[in-house]
Amino acid sequence: MKELYGLGTALTTPFTEDNQVDYPALKKHLDYINEEGVDYYVVNGTTGESATLSKAESAEILSFVKKYNAGKRAIVFGIGGNNTQAVLDTISQTDFEGVTAILSVCPYYNKPSQRGIYLHFKAIADASPVPVILYNVPGRTVISMSVETIAELAKHPNIIGLKDASSSIEVAIDLSRTLPDDFLLLSGDDNLFTAQASLGYKGVISVIGNGFPKEFYELVHSAMEGDFDNAKRLQGKFLDFDTLLYIESNPVGIKCVLDIKGIYDGRVRLPLAKASDELYQKMETSMRKEGFL
């Protein structure tokens, strides 16, 4: 599925002062990343604050992105959770026209066994009318899919890939040697992509791509084309900056960046809090240091 190679930007969700989805700001954001660099969009992920969006809001955002998808790029839609039946209900209620695949997170909080994880994703893959990308992010879910579980799930004809946010090169090596060559390995860790590309990863679902689409698009495609000198140079520019993005949780940091760049205000929904003045100062200093402003 080559339309999902390269830079997939995990879209943020802008909010108005009265805490509603800010669609004019979202349009401005889409125009910005469309002009600067993106291969496909990821809607309703963690970076989009999916945990605090209603089902109606998520569906409306998806419809909006479809409408203003100027380059007719692929769209991946986040549908996941720790209540399997609720996920299946959402799948049955979703309009999948224009959606290339769904991204489904490993069940959180319940702490299922590996067998439970397998059965959860099997049920989702059986029900979904579009292909499924697994999402392993143990830093948020506590539980982690084992390489063995991922390999077993990869046998399902409707499970096509994995977003790996394990933050582990050792896991990346194990995945790359264990999974079939046609299984889509995508990075969920912007800072690790150059290394992961050398292991056969086909792209990244990125937070940084929201704020620096041009620079990160160049990094991703340099690494995928084997120009590791250029990729390494660009990866180094993001090294310290990437850490700042997560000090006050994602997407607080990247929304701070978007605010500094004048794309839209950095408001987030509770229980997240807007970036502190200290983070704004540190972020702007880092951006100037690396030539991003």
Binding-site residue ranges for pyruvate: 47, 205
Q: What confidence tier does 183 reach under pLDDT thresholds 50, 70, 90? A: very high
Q: How far is residue 143 CA from its own chain's centroid?
A: 19
Could you give all domains of the chain from N- to C-terminal order, each with its CATH number? 2-231 (3.20.20.70)
Out of 32, 163, 201, 202, the active site residue is 163
Binding site listing: 47, 205
Per-residue pLDDT, 1: 81
Among candidate residues 40, 135, 217, 264, the one labeled active-site is 135
Rounded distance, CA 238 to CA 149, Å?
A: 32
Active-site residue, 264 included: no
Report field, pTM of the whole predicted structure over 0.85: yes
pLDDT of 293 reads 85
Q: Active-site residue 135, yes or no? A: yes
Average pLDDT, rounded, for the chain: 97
pLDDT reading at 240 higher than 90: no
> Of 197, 193, 249, nearest to 216 (Cα)?
193
Q: Which two tokens stand for residue 55?
A: 């089902």
What are the b/e assignments for 57-77, b being 16+ CB within 10 Å? bbbebbebbbeebeeebbbbb
Averaged pLDDT for residues 163-172? 97
Q: 3-class secondary structure for the chain?
A: CHHHCEEEEECCCCECCCCCECHHHHHHHHHHHHHHCCCEEEECCHHHCHHHCCHHHHHHHHHHHHHCCCCCCEEEEECCCCCHHHHHHHHHHCCCCCCCEEEEECCCCCCCCHHHHHHHHHHHHHHCCCCEEEEECHHHHCCCCCHHHHHHHCCCCCEEEEEECCCCHHHHHHHHHHCCCCCEEEECCHHHHHHHHCCCCCEEEECHHHCCHHHHHHHHHHHHCCCHHHHHHHHHHHHHHHHHHCCCCCCHHHHHHHHHCCCCCCCCCCCCCCCCHHHHHHHHHHHHHCCCC
pLDDT value at position 230? 97
**What is the distance between the alpha carbons of residues 71 and 287, in angstroms, rounded to a whole number?**
28
Q: How sure is the predictor about 167, in pLDDT bands with cuts at 50, 70 and 90?
A: very high
Compute the average pLDDT of residues 166-176.
97
Q: What is the pLDDT of residue 71?
A: 84
